[in-house]
Homo-oligomer: A and B are copies of this chain.
């Protein structure tokens, strides 16, 4: 890892590049940059300095300065991650792209949006919609996350069943490499077979290979109608098995979400209102969209029929606010009960979700810990909130790795992976090193070493090249 120090001289040089105002060194200004959405203090770290460049040229100059001085860099978007990826765990300079917040162009004819990375995702979605088009990407934190962070982490979300994850929306990116060079990969064209698709390597690399400074996003037609359904099942197998039946029936939902009974009970407490069949229910939420109300009505009827064949206790079609209320409250309900919790983000083949959730339920009993499951069953991505509750930090730090070990043994036996959409960051780097096939891990390290030979760009995240230990 690069070993240079953040010196007063370096800070002066940073100020010359971006202006004094945009170099933060005061403790109160630094605090918000000491963490992302991971609430465990174990993953927090006050940075020494945060720099806010205004444009690609300034990013490039800042990166060159750090590179020449051998100082670690940590790219940061909105800090809404769930993997401690944008925290200065190993010291160095945090480079925030928050000032780069302009949508550069909505090209309706080519159906492309060109944007800076610091645009809030929901702002981008709304702006595109005003132009009569649709941006398919939709991480659940759209109101607070930045599109640049979405691309850097390959953010997932609800709509992936129909529209894919962030990767599937990206046509091109401009990247500043670890040595400060600027390169555009891809662009305003929809097919590319011109050499290695480096763009796809940078997407989801969590700021460990470079800083994304401009993005070309694919836009699609805005669907005219939408319908939302809630189906309730006493049996989780029946619930999950609905998805392939719907999809095999020729329906491609926008999303298929699920919540297990433990989650529903927790949300009921949080919302302080009775939820349907909260005693034994498991929820499946399906959204469909299209250009014909008649077709959507038919699809709704078909889903209702399939759900009842699959022993649904109830099927409700209502406005999104009603249908989504419990699912939207899932995270907040857990956070309200236990500020510190670990949110696992496993992905398994869709049909193996019941097996995973049942095993998790057994682990909850075994460790006498609250574990709540919800997620995106249309793509096998299950979030498991493991709640610290009133355990001591020590007891928590002893218990959590044991539970994770048992979960990940199972997940990898099912052919799954440890993160479907939240990424690795620092939080899961050790777990990844443990569970990833050694050949795959070596290939990833080879790529990191090739594209960041100084190990200077967000080191210790994703692949921890030399098992570096965080700074004190």
Which residues of chain A have a CB within 8 Å of any CB of chain B?
Answer: 107-112, 132-133, 153-154, 156, 160-161, 164-165, 167-168, 177, 181-185, 187-198, 200-201, 203-205, 220-224, 241, 244, 247-252, 291-292, 294-295, 298, 345, 347-351, 376, 378-381, 415-424, 432, 436-437, 439-441, 443-444, 446-451, 462-463
- Which B residues lie within 8 Å of A111 (CB)? 244, 247-248, 350
CA distance in complex: A53, B432 (Å): 33
- A250-B291, A295-B295, A449-B450 known; A194-B417 Cβ under 8 A: yes
- Which B residues lie within 8 Å of A444 (CB)? 195-196, 198
B201 touches A197 (CB 8 A): yes
- Which B residues lie within 8 Å of A417 (CB)? 187, 189, 192, 194
Q: Can you spell out 29 A-B residue pairs with CB atoms less than 8 angstroms apart?
A: A107-B349, A109-B241, A110-B349, A110-B350, A133-B248, A160-B190, A164-B168, A167-B200, A183-B439, A183-B443, A188-B380, A189-B415, A189-B420, A191-B381, A192-B419, A193-B423, A194-B417, A194-B436, A195-B424, A196-B448, A198-B444, A201-B201, A201-B447, A221-B247, A221-B250, A221-B251, A292-B295, A292-B298, A450-B450
CA distance in complex: A421, B191 (Å): 7
CB distance from A106 to the nearest CB of B (A): 12
- Which B residues lie within 8 Å of A247 (CB)? 111, 220-221
A168 touches B165 (CB 8 A): no
B197 touches A167 (CB 8 A): yes
B440 touches A451 (CB 8 A): no
- A189-B380, A189-B415, A351-B110 known; A222-B200 Cβ under 8 A: no
> Which residue of the partner chain B has the closest CB to A191?
B420
A419 touches B165 (CB 8 A): no
CA distance in complex: A221, B302 (Å): 15
CA distance in complex: A187, B195 (Å): 24
- Which B residues lie within 8 Å of A203 (CB)? 197
CA distance in complex: A416, B216 (Å): 13
- Which B residues lie within 8 Å of A298 (CB)? 292
B193 touches A422 (CB 8 A): yes
CA distance in complex: A248, B222 (Å): 8
A204 touches B198 (CB 8 A): no
Q: Which of B161, B165, B193, B224 lies in contact with A156, CB distance below 8 A?
A: B193
CB distance from A440 to the nearest CB of B (A): 5
- A196-B462, A220-B252 known; A110-B244 Cβ under 8 A: yes
B189 touches A197 (CB 8 A): no
Question: Other than the known A194-B347, A194-B436, A196-B447, what 12 A-B pairs have Cβ atoms closer than 8 Å?
Answer: A110-B244, A160-B190, A164-B168, A177-B443, A189-B417, A191-B376, A196-B201, A223-B250, A224-B250, A291-B295, A292-B295, A446-B450
> Which residue of the partner chain B has the closest CB to A172?
B415
Q: Which of B177, B378, B450 lies in contact with A439, CB distance below 8 A?
A: B177
A244 touches B108 (CB 8 A): yes
CB distance from A404 to the nearest CB of B (A): 14
CA distance in complex: A160, B181 (Å): 33
CB distance from A198 to the nearest CB of B (A): 6
- Which B residues lie within 8 Å of A154 (CB)? 193, 197
A415 touches B188 (CB 8 A): yes
> Which residue of the partner chain B has the closest CB to A199?
B200
- Which B residues lie within 8 Å of A252 (CB)? 220-221
A415 touches B187 (CB 8 A): yes
Most buried by B among A183, A196, A241: A196
- Which B residues lie within 8 Å of A295 (CB)? 291-292, 295
CB distance from A142 to the nearest CB of B (A): 17
B191 touches A109 (CB 8 A): no
B436 touches A248 (CB 8 A): no
Q: Which of B195, B223, B224, B447 lies in contact with A436, CB distance below 8 A?
A: B195
A109 touches B244 (CB 8 A): yes
CA distance in complex: A222, B252 (Å): 10
- A191-B420, A244-B108, A351-B110 known; A451-B446 Cβ under 8 A: yes
CA distance in complex: A247, B443 (Å): 40
B200 touches A201 (CB 8 A): yes
